Structure formats: C-alpha cells, structure tokens
Structure 1
Amino acid sequence: MSFTYGAYTACLQDRSLGEALDVLKRIGLSGAEVNAGGFIPSPHIPVDAVIGSKAAREEYLGVFDEHGIKLTGLNTSGNPVSPLPNESILHAQDLRKAIKAAGALGVRDVVAMSGTPGTDPSAKYPTWIVNPWNGIDQEILDYQWTVVVPFFKEIDALARDNDVNVNLELHPRNLVFNVPSFERLIEETGATNIKVNLDPSHLFWQQAEPIEAAKRLGAYVGHVHAKDTRLFPGVAYRGVLDTDFGHVPADVPGQTPVAAGYYVTAWPQDPAWRFVAFGLGHDTDYWAEFLRTLQAINPDLIVNIEHEDAEYGNVEGLELSAGNLLAAAAKVG
C-alpha cells in the first residue's frame, strides 16, 4: 500500500510550522495538511506569499524537506455560500486562494465544505434543511441549490486550471453532507475536479457506514481524514439530531471561531455522540477493512488524522490516533 499517512496540523496551531512537523515525524507520520483559511486561522502557511513569489514557495517547501514531512493538502473548511457577508466573502476568497496556492506548490488536494445558503435571497442566516418532508422546506432547498451549483462550477473551473482537486467534507450543516447530495452536486455541475474528503466520523454521526459510502463513491474519494466517532448512552433519548447545545461567553479564552464574532458552542453534558481519537470508536480490524476498501479504489490516497477529541491533549490525541492508524495499516500490509 502506498498511502501517505499524516495529520492535519490545525490542532498544533500554538506551535511553529517546524515544531508541528517535528511532532508528526516523531509519532511516525510522513505527511501534513495545513489550514489555509475558512473557519480557523492559518498560521502554518503564508498564503499570499506562496501565491505571489517563487522564492517564498521554495522557502516554504524547504521547511517540509528539512523536517522530513511531505505537504499533502491545504484545508479551507468554511461556509463560502453563507448569506452572512462576514462569512461567505472571506471563506470564498480563502478557498480561491487555497486553490491557487496549492497549484503553485504542486499540492494535489484542497479540503473544503460546500457551505450552507440561507432560505431565500433576503435571508440573513444560513439554514440547514435536513428532512424536507414539508413543501416549504423543499422550496428552500431548491433555492439553495441555485446558489451552490454556480459557485461550484466556478470553483471546479479554477481547480481544473490549477491542476488541483477540491475535496468536500460530507459534514452535517452543509448542503452537501452525504453521498446522495454529493452525487447531485456532480450531476448538476458536471464537475471534474470536485471530489470527497472522506471523513468517516461525519458519516458515523449520521448513522451512515463509511465503508459502504466509499464503495459507492469509488473514484470520487479524493482525500481521507482519519477521525472516529463514538455513540454515548444519551443517544437513546436524544437521537443523533440534537439541538441541546449552549452559548459560550465571548470572553472565554481558547474558543474556536467559525465566522467573525461567532464561535463553536458548548456541548450537552450527556451527549448522544462525540468525535473521539482515531480508534476509540471502532477497533483496528474495522479500520483495516476501511483501508483495504480505499486501497482498492486508489492506492495513492492521502490519509490525514484530524484530532478533535477534547478528552485528550493535542499531542496526546495525535499520538494515540497515529498508533491506531498505523496498527490498522500494518494489518493491511
């Protein structure tokens, strides 16, 4: 198997790029995906500089060479079609810049999200339609596709011009959040350079099966995030569609931004589900079968750990996830 196993460095934002790469090298990984905009800052890449200067690109890639790690992707997960201008304008521009930067750096993959429009042209906030059994919701959903399709036709053309794939996360609260909605996007855009960043944690959350999703997507699997989800006893009465979250005061340190003036909210005390370190929701045998399925699709995929388990420190969680990922890889051979 020729997969490159690495990690998304967003959880190491408090360290310099070189320090973050040293962490990945020490725990047995060989690739790094860095944030280039969207919801969170991008301390590990000077995007404008690498777009505009060959010398800056050579210097930047030299850091990876020096630390023995390969740059395997840029990430700009955000909401580029939001009706909130302080979200959509910034995130759409970040995505365009990331595509150009990736092309200039010779990086194949950009990770992004489809985003979520509002209910209509006058809407102020994004609205995620989950189950449009009501004709009103179906009308909203129809409108949202008229926003997302032309935007991603443009993005696909830009990606094609830069020899880059834009890999969408199938993440709830996005118009494209599961396999059927991705298939609709491809059908309506005719895209050639839009694929899926297959993050199994998002599918587990929806009670979908990542291995079966991968088989159906086939060559549309363009990039992979190694992240796990665990269900908790609260699922018995909450289900997996739960709104029992809370506000976090703006002056609390260490919040995760999602747009100008907005932050990630507080989880319920007894959650239905939670993202966990890789291997803590499903065992090594499961992940070995997951990797075998991906190998049959494309033996050259990038597999990057995304650590978002609040029960573990950033380095501790990466170490745990890397150990489980590499153990699963060893079972595949």
Structure 2
Amino acid sequence: MKLGVYTAVLHDRPLPEALDVIAGLGLDAAEINSGGFLPPVHIPIDDILVSQAARDDYLALFEAKGVTLAGLNCNGNPLHPHPAIGPKHAEDLRRSVRAAGLLGQTRVVTMSGLPGGEPGATVPNWVVNAWNSGSLDVLDYQWDEVAVPFWREIDALAADNGVQVAIEMHPQNLVFNPPTLKRLVDRVGAANVGAEMDPSHLFWQGMDPVAAVRYLGPLVVHAAAKDVRINEDHVSVYGVLDERFRRLSPEEDRVNLGGDEWVNEWPSDSAWDFVALGRGHDVDFWTRFVDALRDVDPDMAVNIEHEDTSLGRIEGLQVAADVLLRAAAPANR
C-alpha cells in the first residue's frame, strides 16, 4: 500500500521541496494536480505530453527523493454548461489521462461533473431530492444527454492509455455517493472508470466510508485520507445542507474555479468542517478504513488531502501522517 500526500497543499513551494516534506513525514507517495480547478503547479504537463526527455527528467525527481508518483489529480467540472469552464476542465481531464499513460501512471482522479438542468443553461443544477417530476426530467437530461456520452468518451480514452479514472464522490456532482458511482459505470458500460474513495464527503452526508468500500468493492481504485468533524451544536439547527456562505470580493484573497466562479467564505459557525485525520474520527476508524481498502487492493494508494484551516500546511500534514501511519501499521492488523 502506498501512503502519500496530494500536493496541492504544497503548491507554495517547488516540487522537489514538496517531495522532501513528504519523505520527511515518513510517507512514500505523491499525487499531483494536473488541471481542473487548480493549475498544474507541480507538473510541466505541456512538456510531458510531447517530450520523452521531459518525462524522464520529471520521473527522476521522484526517484531522487525516494517518493513514488501515485496518480494525477484533475478535479473540476468537465460537464459545466458555461463555455468558459466545462470545455476547459474536460480538456484538462483528457490531457491528464494522456499524460498519466505517458508517465506510466494508472490513476487519474477527477469528479463526474455537473451539467445545467436543460439545453442552453449556463449554471449547473444539482438535484438531490427529486420528489417532483420536473426534477426527474432534469436528471434524465443530465444523465442521458450529457454525462453518459462524455464518460463513454473518457472511458475509451482511459482504456487507450492504460489508465483508470477514479471519480471522487463529491456533492454538487452527478456522482456524489456509491449508488450514483455504480450508476455511471453501469450506464456507460465503463471498464476504466472507478471510485476515488474520499471519506470526507461521505461523512458529512451521513454515510459510512467502510460500508461504502464494501459496497463498491473492486470499483474502488484509489483513495484519499481526509477527515470531517460534525459540529453537533450547529448541525442540530442548520443541518448539513447549509448555504450560509459569504461571497468574497475581488479585493480579498480568493480561489478561482474557472470563468468567473470563485470559492466562497466558509460559515464561522459551520455544521461541519474538514479537519486533519484523527480530529473527526479516531485511529480505530482509519485502521478499519485502510483494512477495507487493502482487502480490495493491497497496492492501493491512499493520499492525504489537507484542508484543515485551523492548522498550518506542515502541521496539518504531520497530524494526518501520524494517524495514517498508525492506521496502516502491522501492529494494527
């Protein structure tokens, strides 16, 4: 089993220094962002796509640091209906699949995407409680006319490049839980599309990630280590579907998501928060999670994704690495 870090949290430093951090944590793998919501800071993807020398030089960086390249990450919305966002994210995904194949990688992480609710829309439409017939009409359009044709194309491209595309089951996407992941695979007839098992988004939706691994079985092809803390005092009033986010102004530090879409400010009295491993669920849970993944694939890559805003970049990685290493230790078997 490979234990590593998704290096987006280390985009403040060059790749060699990021790899030093990972090795210093006692971990042995790195997952690299290759486009989508975030720029490809740690991979010269244009060069990788055209130059064998560039690919050799890039892989040599990992070998020199004793850290394995364990997947590319192109999280974005490839089905976004706005012409400034969806087509770019979709092309980033295609380029990531090709780059992965050229680098000898077998995993590209992404999201399923979310279309608009009807032809001509420019804003995505997430239907989660389809109690009325109009909502089912939206879902029929999103699945049949947008998602299935796109993902058939991506599945074929992945097969041509020897890659498995690992979909993060993320809210505000068509695929946001295990049944919708299976639905996509079944309706596409996909052989090269599976799941990236990120427990964090399952936690706050009320799911058990270990049960999700058992349910999906061999469809789980990659994993993230990311925790969530449910804030009971607040969730009892707001619930987990909470829209109290603040729009950040152009003068404030904000993250662009493509086009004119930006990350908003999180509520201060939030119903739940992303936290470092162990601050939401203890080592016993993470041991059971790692064991479930190992049962599916003993060589699974499990990469820490750090988004705990109460901890610094290195501090958060240290906390998470300690928990993950203990969870995966032979003494816990």
1:77 to 53, 64, 75: 75
Q: Counterpart of 1:108? A: 106
Once the 2 structures are TM-superposed, how far is the Cα of residue 332 of structure 1 from its aligned partner?
A: 3.3
Deviations along 1:166-213, one digit per CA (max 9) or x if unpaired, are: 000000000011111111111110000000000000100110110000
* Structure 2 match to 1:135: 133
- 1:266-309 Cα offsets, whole Å, 9 max, x none, are 11121101110011100001111111111111111000000011
The CA deviation at 1:28 is: 0.6
- Residue of structure 1 equivalent to 2:149: 150
Give CA deviations for 1:94-131 in whole Å, capped at 9, x if unaligned.
00000000000001110000110001011110111111
Aligned with 2:266: secondary structure? Answer: coil
SS at match of 1:66: helix
Deviation by residue 1:238-288 (Cα, 9 ceiling, x = unmatched): 1111111110112212x2221122211111121101110011100001111
Q: Partner residue of 2:207?
A: 208
Of the candidates 21, 31, 50, which is equivalent to residue 23 of structure 1? Answer: 21
Question: Is contact 2:4-2:304 (8 Å) kept?
Answer: yes
Task: Spell out the pairing of 1:160-175 with structure 2 (5 A cutoff).
Answer: 160-175=159-174
2:252 is equivalent to residue 252 of structure 1: yes
Task: Give, in angstroms, the shift of residue 135 of structure 1.
Answer: 1.1
Shift of 1:22: 0.4
Q: Structure 1 regions of 5+ residues with no counterpart?
A: none
Q: Distance in 1 between matches of 2:261 and 2:80?
A: 13
SS of the equivalent of 1:85 reads coil
Alignment-derived partner of residue 237 in structure 2: 237
CA distance in 2, matches of 1:200, 1:174: 16
Q: Aligned residue for 2:179?
A: 180
2-side partners of 1:256 and 1:165: how far apart? 29
Instruction: Give the AA of the match of 1:307.
Output: H
Cα contact 1:291–1:332 (8 A) shared by 2: no
Q: TM-score, normalised by structure 1?
A: 0.98
Which position in structure 2 is the counterpart of 1:304?
Answer: 303
Q: Which runs of 5+ in 2 are unaligned?
A: none
Identity %: 49
- 1:124-177 Cα shifts (integer Å, max 9, x gaps): 101111111111111111100020000000000000000000000000000011
Whether the 8 Å contact between 1:203 and 1:210 is mirrored in structure 2 is yes
Cα distance per residue 1:32-52 (max 9 Å; x no partner): 001000001111001111111
Whole-angstrom distance in 1 between the partners of 2:29 and 2:45: 19
C-alpha separation in 2, matches of 1:178 and 1:264: 23
TM-score normalised over the length of structure 2: 0.98
Alpha-carbon distance in structure 2 between the residues aligned to 1:82 and 1:261: 13
Q: Distance in 1 between matches of 2:72 and 2:294?
A: 22
Contact 1:103 1:164 in 2 (8 A): yes
In 2, the alpha carbon distance for the partners of 1:244 and 1:137 equals 24
Q: Name the structure 2 match of 1:118.
A: 116
Question: Is the contact between residue 149 and residue 188 of structure 1 (CA under 8 Å) also seen in structure 2?
Answer: yes
Instruction: Please give the alpha-carbon distance, in whole angstroms, between the structure 2 residues aligned to 1:268 and 1:234.
Output: 11
Aligned equivalents of 1:275, 1:125: Cα separation in 2: 26
Aligned to 2:293: 294
Q: Does 1:35 align with 2:40?
A: no
- For residues 163 and 187 of structure 2, what CA distance do their matches in structure 1 show? 20
Structure 1 residue 221: Cα displacement: 0.4
What is the alpha-carbon distance in structure 1 between the residues aligned to residue 82 and residue 187 of structure 2?
25
**Aligned equivalents of 2:310, 2:291: Cα separation in 1:** 29
RMSD between aligned alpha carbons?
Answer: 0.8
- Which SS does the other structure have where 2:195 is aligned? strand
Matched position secondary structure for 2:60: helix
Alpha carbons 1:79, 1:113 under 8 Å: kept: yes
Asked if structure 2 preserves the Cα contact closer than 8 Å seen for 1:292 and 1:332, the reply is: no
Secondary structure of the 2:85 match is: helix
Alignment match of 2:63 (pick from 44, 62, 65)? 65
Amino acid at match of 1:204: F
Displacement over 4 Å in runs of 4+: none
In the alignment, which residue of structure 2 is the partner of 1:266? 265
From 72, 84, 87, give the equivalent of 2:85: 87
Q: 2:52 & 2:268 partners in 1: Cα distance?
A: 50
SS in 2 for 1:197: strand
